[in-house]
Amino acid sequence: MDPARGATVRPRLVRDRLTVGLYTPFAVWGWLLYSFNPSVPLLADELGITAAQAGLHGTAMALGGLVAAPLTPRAVRVLERRGAIGTAALLVAVGVVGLLLGPTLPWTLTGMFVTAVGGNVLIAATQVGIAQHAGRAASAAITEANGVGSSIGLVGPLAVGACVTLGWGWRPGVAVTVLLALVVAVVVARLPASRALPALRRRTTGTAAAPVAPRTADDAVAAPTTAAVSATGTPAPLAPASRHRLLRAAPLFLATIVAAVALENATTYWATDLVLARTDAGAGIATATTAGLVAGMSAMRFVVGPLSLRVQAAHLLAASFGIAVIGWAVLWTATDAGVALAGLVVAGFGYGAQYPLSIALLLAASPGRGDRAQAHATLAGALAIGVAPFLLGALSDAFGTHSAFLLVPVVAVAGGVVALLGGRAVRHDARR
């Protein structure tokens, strides 16, 4: 085939050992988010604190993200990407132990902060590695990686609900995160070396760093950090002048990341409380309904990943915000636990596509700046995590959980509009 026409060839995702191994850190973060977030109302009851105070765990997570944003590029430079991922996984394990054993709010907030620092470094360093390794199939690889995380996390609320029903409390379900983090540290350490995941340098006096393993056929494709977005929303090579113009799309996709993270975390934190307030479900059943949201997210990620190689990713992103509004409407009007579960599943269909597509589009719109763009995304996500759950909790204290959930469609509509603007910017640059 003519090399000059290679950019028009549909990209293909190859799931080799390195790709699959880099999916495993998402299992750690997925389990933590989807097992702990729906447990927040139960933790609030145990500690005798208000909903707004319980929402401070989202603020602690945000502060951890703020610290992780500038820390991640430095950690990758100093420890190499492999060392940064392994160290971050161990930090997650330490933080979760503190979260589970903390007897008062300051202790649990500190545990969440440490966990968030490790978790954000873990995911940020891994996502850029996946994007570099997958090249033009980055949108599919990143979406599928997040799908793996949410699929593993799907068991989290079910496990917590079962533990609560059995009288064990929520902690045993969340404690699984520690085991997963230790396993991931070992798995990543044993992955083969490549340009996306170099072997750790041996620190020997007077010698140069060990050479990186030769590039494979998968590594040879252009990485999205040196690429633009093609008509399907996947990376394609750019001329230098085009790279400069394309950076205008990056802030728009940062905004969709804020909307996506805000929606997901606000819903997973307080959906349990909404189901408890509007239906006759008990605490165990209400907590377990959050699994419907995660199930919808997981299913959509495995669908939208391959679809993003055929349809413009920005259009898929905008549509996902519309689906989220439909799911919210079903959940918000539900007075039966089954209907509420259905609403969460539909909302999950929308939520599932939002974050990974936003990340893939941001990286593709930031040629040559992968780790820096990911740091900006971590910072933006941290701000969303810090504000959204706390704001919804404060509104819940003031007006009730049902009224507070009106915040969700407002954020979703804003995210959809910005996604359309981002897609328009990408198409404009592609035409030029």
Query: Which phi-psi region, left, alpha or beta, contains residue 286 (left: φ > 0; alpha: ψ -120 to 50)?
Result: alpha
**∠ Cα 282 286 290 (to 5°):** 165
- Looking at residue 230, its pLDDT comes to 40
CA distance 378 to 387: 14
Residue span of the structural domain in which 159 resides? 13-199+222-431
- Looking at residue 346, its pLDDT comes to 95
The answer to whether 263 and 327 have CB atoms below 8 angstroms apart is no
Residue 240 to residues 132, 245, 271, 317, 416, Cα–Cα distance (Å): 19, 9, 46, 27, 30
Give me the amino acid identity at 209.
A
Residue 228 pairs in a beta bridge with 236
Instruction: Answer whether residue 212 is part of any domain.
Output: no
Which residue, chain included where needed, has tokens 């006096």? 205
Instruction: Answer whether residue 403 is part of any domain.
Output: yes
Instruction: Answer whether residue 3 is part of any domain.
Output: no
Tally of structural domains, the chain: 1
- Looking at residue 8, its pLDDT comes to 54
Instruction: Answer whether residue 240 is part of any domain.
Output: yes
CATH number of the domain within which 78 lies: 1.20.1250.20
Q: What is the DSSP string of 1-29?
A: --GGGGGGSPP-----HHHHHHHHHHHHH
Instruction: Answer whether residue 7 is part of any domain.
Output: no
Instruction: Answer whether residue 106 is part of any domain.
Output: yes
- Looking at residue 119, its pLDDT comes to 93
Instruction: Answer whether residue 215 is part of any domain.
Output: no
Block mean pLDDT (10 aa), the chain, length 432: 50 80 92 84 84 80 87 88 93 94 90 94 90 80 85 82 85 92 93 81 48 38 36 41 55 91 85 84 77 85 81 87 94 88 93 89 76 82 80 84 89 93 76 62
Q: State the sign of the Cα–Cα–Cα–Cα dihedral 162, 158, 118, 418.
A: negative
Instruction: Answer whether residue 38 is part of any domain.
Output: yes
Instruction: Give, as one character, the DSSP assignment of residue 195.
Output: S
- Looking at residue 9, its pLDDT comes to 64
- Looking at residue 62, its pLDDT comes to 81
